[in-house]
Amino acid sequence: MPFWFVLAFLYVGATLRGQGIYWLGRVVTEQTLRRTHPHEGWRKRVHDWLQGEGTARGIEVIRRWGLVAIPFAYLTVGFQSMIMAGAGVLRIGWGRFSLAQVPGALAWAAIYSTIGFAVWEAALAAAAGSPWGIAGIAALLVVGVATFAVHRRRTRHTAVPLLVNPVDEPTPATAATPDTARRPE
């Protein structure tokens, strides 16, 4: 495919991903973290993720470095989502967030449309050409999955709420809303 098409496609993809995570953090923060306390399902997972350690780190970085953290987040692996969700939780204005996002998404698209995928494919081809390379790839996958599983298990047990303290009593304004009303069992 032509370079400019790939660059534009990756830029739009990076921008939409960043916007999606930003809005997830912004809307879900307002609607979920402050008004509801889900006990199961995908809502609980999103609620826990936004109150977890990763989003807290993203918020810390944005508070320390300001909007410059947003474009630099695109140059990291795994930290992008934390920064984008943190920007949403902090309710950074959409216009400011979008402008800060442009150079990062453009840099990410440029890297992956030029050398990013080529280096990845070359490394896989070189590793797949030998039995030791295949064993190395398999070992990396096993270590990665095990690390993810251990990290996820630890964060489930040690998650610290960011915005909501479950022992706080609901305010009169939120106590009567249909979203938070308890159903009889």
State the pLDDT at residue 8: 93
Average pLDDT over residues 66-74: 91
For residue 138, give the amino acid letter. Answer: A
Q: Which residue has the higher pLDDT, 132 or 64?
A: 64
Q: What is the pLDDT of residues 102-130, one digit of tens each?
A: 999 999 998 888 887 666 677 667 767 77
Q: What is the pLDDT of residue 174?
A: 46
1 pLDDT above the threshold of 60 = yes
pLDDT band, very low/low/confident/very high, at 49 (cuts 50, 70, 90): confident
Looking at residue 33, its pLDDT comes to 64
36-47: average pLDDT: 77
Domain boundaries along the sequence of the chain: 3-175
Question: How large is the greatest C-alpha to C-alpha distance in the chain, in angstroms?
Answer: 67
Residue 173, pLDDT above cutoff 50: no
**Do 42 and 63 form a contact (C-beta atoms < 8 A)?**
no
User: What's the pLDDT at 16?
Assistant: 96
Name the band, by pLDDT with cuts 50, 70 and 90, for residue 98: very high
CA distance 10 to 70: 17
Q: Quick one: how far is CA 112 from the chain centroid?
A: 19
Q: Where are the alpha helices (DSSP H) in 29-130?
A: 41-50, 53-65, 69-73, 80-89, 94-111, 117-128
pLDDT digits (tens, 9 = 90+) for 129-169: 777 776 777 777 788 788 777 777 776 665 555 554 444 44
Place of tokens 């990290």: 151
